[in-house]
Amino acid sequence: MNQIQYTNIPMLVMPSTLEIYNASAGSGKTTFLVINYLYVLLKSPYPDEFKKVLALTFTKKASEEMKNRILQCIKEFSNKKVKKEYRFLFDSITKNFRLTKYQLYQRSEKILFSILQNFYSFSKNISTIDKFTYNIIRSFLYDREVNLEMDADRFLLKIVDNILCRLKNSEKWSNVLIQSSLENIKEGRNWDLRKELFKIVHIILEENNFFYIKKIENYSLEDFVQLKNLLIKRTKIFEKKCKKKGEEFFQLLEKTSIQKHSFVYLDLPRLFQKFQNGNIFFNPFNKRIEKNIQKGIFYSQFFFDDNQKTLIEKNKNKILFLYKKAKSIYKKNISNYFLDKLFLKKINLLSIIHEIEKEFRSIKNEKKVILNAELNKILYEKIVKGTLPKVYEKIGIQYKYYFIDEFQDISFLQWQNIRILVENALSENGSAMIVGDPKQSIYRWRGGDAKQFIKLINSKSYCYKKTIKTIEKNFRSDEEIVKFNNLLYQSISKTFNYTIYQDIYKNYKQKINPKKSGGYVEINFINDHHQNYKEHIYSNIKNKINQLLKQKYALSDIAILVRNNKEGHFLSEKLMEDGVLVNTSVSLLIKNHLEIQIIVNFLYVFAYPHCYQKRVVLIFLLLKNKFIRTKKNNHDFIMKILFLPLNLFLKKIMLKNSLTLNKLYNKSIYNISEDIIESFRLLNKQNSTYIYSFLDFVYRSMRKVGNSILDFLDHWEFKKEKESIIISDHINAIRIMTIHKSKGLQFPVVLIPFTDWDIFSKKNKEKIWIDIDPNLYNGFNSIYLEIESYFKHIKYDNNIRNFYDDYLSNIKFDNINLLYVATTRSIEKLILFSKFGNDRSISYYIRNFLCEKKMWNEKKYKYTFGKEK
């Protein structure tokens, strides 16, 4: 139990009150929740009061930690001699409840006995939100054998394969699929139908799309075909109108003998050329044209052809009339044209949503499965339909006190499902406590929304009382780190355009724990023109680690936080090459190791005998690492054996002819893998952990997908980015992890090596739904589209611009939150490495902060806060 001492510990004894706590990083919110949970138990004369308390966390790790801390406290209080670290809390409770020490000891002893007698109830009532939701759903399912499927990707892939098989045999659907592929090829996008369908299945499953999918899932293919034809017709009419205006302009020039080069900057001819060619997607009416037209300037003042000047002046009104007419047509129709074109890009695949839905339901019923990702939707639909009164009535009677942790990560549907129970408890003299921190909202992509937390704080309720409080003190970090973060994020708050995001950081200022003096922050800027920036960063990281070791820090005291797995893999490989022990799932992915690559590529060659690309990869792996040797040069050797029949090919790549097709046929994948390992002599002391981990993966896979090599390889492709070896936390090794994984953790020293990521760059384009006029779209009231960078150039459609501005604000907030999570993990030292970046880079905000504090110097590369001991 951390020694966190609240001078005035709030007690959760106020009936009909929703208490909301804004708890910044390091404020000890887990301890805070535990203390308030204990108050509920210890204020009651009944030892089984824990049965009326429901505590919901976001992760399994958090729920386990909460259970352990509660049990540890109750256990300590039930001893007549309370340990020093629990004495403050023990004394505080006796004082607040006016109990003698003996009475509190007796009460704790009875509670502990009751918990141990009813441990299932205690454990069940401190749960993740997902598990709690699943238990509710199980309670109203008639078929008790329904299983919860956590591996959604594997299940969805099966659905995609079934749909492909069925749709390809249907004439009407095969036409849709072919059209979709051709359009994707034309636009240079992915034409693999399997992957495209997999994306659509994910769209259906993602909670953020729930309400929009419900609106369109009942539309038939014919509805979509009709809409598509309407959109095509409407876009062609507009393009034809524009083309006509372009032609009229050039016909006028020809008729009047006006030459194109007579116009100032050729702006007007270029404008109408775009109209004529249908190049109208982006606004052709630039500021210079508008300015010159308003001033009546049609030709350059340096143009000396008086005859052309006269011709232009004579036909000025006709030209102006054409210009105004073209502009009027454009402004009137361009918004709908733009949306029509965007809708047409997605309409083919969206048209099969209801087919996917049917297959989805069919396979789930057949396999008796529900997916973890759809739990919230299932429960929400039951509540909306009013089919859960008895279940909720039972739960409502059971629970009187509610604790909800990490509220900023809770999705809209999760809160709607829980809110009914919370409000019921509050209406019946119960109480609830919600704890969260919008600055640590980094899961918007999976439904978490900081705005929901802010809305809950600011909204009014007439059904119950509501108190809003802030846990101000930082119990984690030393003084200089807290000061640095206070100043940095107050500076960053000024850069937000949206007041809601600005206020979250502007009002952020943590109090310093007087017992936590000292602390050190260091910001290092690396010249990004260095020949190899990543290598240069690593060199600095390695030097800093050596320096920390000399300062008597252990390797396990140091954490390196990265933005993505690629950065983590690079650093871990380099450190391990230099003999530094590293503890990270990023570096220990089994797919990264040579022996595993050889086994997998051999399986590919065996499964696809005529896939010569896989043969080449396998040969190169074997040659490069001297598993096979040849007297010829590598190219000649490859060309000699590449196209041989499979059996002869195997003979040429084996050290001994120990592995033949006859030996491999009719064997399990596990036994084939063992044969490959033995034949190529892959196993040794250095790699045994990886190879045994791979064999364990093969064994587990066979239980899920059977003994088909093709199914296994598909399963491997989906799982290889997660299969890793976990080193025990108890060994002395540096931790390398993503910022997302570090949330909730703390370390004496934190290094952030690449504090320069692009805020507005997203590997996967964000998808949004835009509301549209159903009268223009055959009853459809929303369309689905991907955010494109060219949206920033859209000046003529406020709807699109507003959505794009929202998108930019949201991802900026996401990335500032990531920086916040990273810089608040350290206890004693925080060390950042970055390069000079533009206003798209996260480093820009650090540099801007240093400028504000008048510390910035173009020639200075290192900035420190506090003294390094």
For residue 3, what pLDDT is reported?
Answer: 40
**How far is it, in rounded angstroms, from Cα 54 to Cα 43?**
17
Cα–chain center distance at 64: 24
**CA angle centred on 22, ends 16 and 26, rounded to 5°:** 130
Q: Note the pLDDT of residue 172.
A: 63
R_g of the chain computed on alpha carbons:
33
Q: What is the DSSP string of 738-783?
A: EHHHHTT--EEEEEES-TT-BTT--SS--EEEEE--GGGTTT--EE
Q: Are 561 and 825 in contact (CB under 8 A)?
A: yes
Q: What is the mean pLDDT of the chain?
A: 85
Beta bridge mates, 751: 560, 831
Identify any residues that bridge with 470 across adjacent strands, giving them in sequence order: 22
Q: Check if the beta carbon of residue 600 is closer than 8 Å to that of residue 714.
A: no
Specify the pLDDT at position 4. 39
Per-residue burial over 618-632, b if 16 or more Cβ lie within 10 Å, else e, is bbebbbeeebeeeee
Please give the structure tokens belonging to residue 134. Answer: 């699943």
Helix 594-607 / helix 669-679 crossing angle, nearest 10 deg: 120
Burial 737-769 (b: 16+ CB within 10 A, else e): bbbebbbbebbbbbbbbbbbbebeeeeeeebbb
Q: Tokens in use for 852?
A: 């504000």
User: For residues 349 and 193, is the Cβ–Cβ distance under 8 A?
Assistant: no
List strand residue ranges (DSSP E) for 311-400, in order.
Answer: 369-371
Structure tokens at 547: 């320096």
Supply the pLDDT for residue 5.
42
Q: Decide if 133 contacts 148 (C-beta within 8 A).
A: no
Q: Which two tokens stand for residue 241?
A: 């109108």
Residue 849 · residue 541 · CB < 8 Å:
no
User: Using CA atoms, how far apart are residues 339 and 149, in angstroms rounded to an integer?
Assistant: 38
Output the CA torsion sign for 350, 353, 355, 360: positive
Nearest to 371 by CA among 672, 156, 83: 156
- Report whether 132 contacts 123 (CB < 8 A): no
Q: Give the helix/strand (H/E) hosting 657.
A: none
pLDDT, tens only, 158-197: 788 887 777 666 666 666 666 666 666 555 555 567 777 7
Surface-to-core class of residue 302, CB atoms within 10 Å of its CB (0-12 exposed, 13-18 middle, 19+ buried): exposed
Cα 199–742–716 angle (5° rounding)?
A: 40
| pLDDT tens digits, 581-600 | 888 766 677 888 888 999 99
Helices (H), 608-708: 612-624, 634-641, 646-653, 661-664, 669-679, 688-705
DSSP-assigned letters across all residues of 483-533: HHHHHHHHHHHTT-SSHHHHHHHHT--PEEPTT----EEEEEEE-TTSTTH
Residue 7: its pLDDT value, please? Answer: 40
Q: Are the C-beta atoms of 204 and 324 separated by less than 8 Å?
A: no
Strands (E), 7-111: 17-23, 53-57
> What is the rounded distance in angstroms from the CA atom of residue 105 to the CA atom of residue 112?
11
Contact (CB, 8 A) for 408 and 450: yes
The low-confidence residues of the chain, meaning pLDDT below 70, are: 1-15, 142-144, 167-192, 301-304, 388-389, 528-531, 585-587, 631, 655-660, 662, 726-729, 762-764, 796-797
Count other Cβ atoms within 10 Å, centred on residue 844: 17
What is the sign, positive or negative, of the torsion defined by CA atoms of 19, 25, 26, 30?
positive
**In whole angstroms, what is the distance from residue 282 CA to residue 274 CA?**
10
CB-based contacts of 362, cutoff 8 Å, min separation 6: none
β-bridge partners, 337: none
Q: What does DSSP say about strands 747-752 and 558-562: parallel, antiparallel, or unpaired?
A: parallel
Quote the distance between the C-alpha of residue 199 and its chain's center: 16
Other beta carbons within 10 angstroms of residue 326's beta carbon come to 23
Residue 862: HSE in the Cβ half-sphere, 13 Å Cα cutoff = 4
Tokens of 311: 């011709």
Six-digit token pair at 278? 């249908």
The Cα angle at residue 477 between residues 435 and 569, in degrees rounded to 5: 90
Amino acid residing at 87: R
**Tokens representing 192?**
């693999």
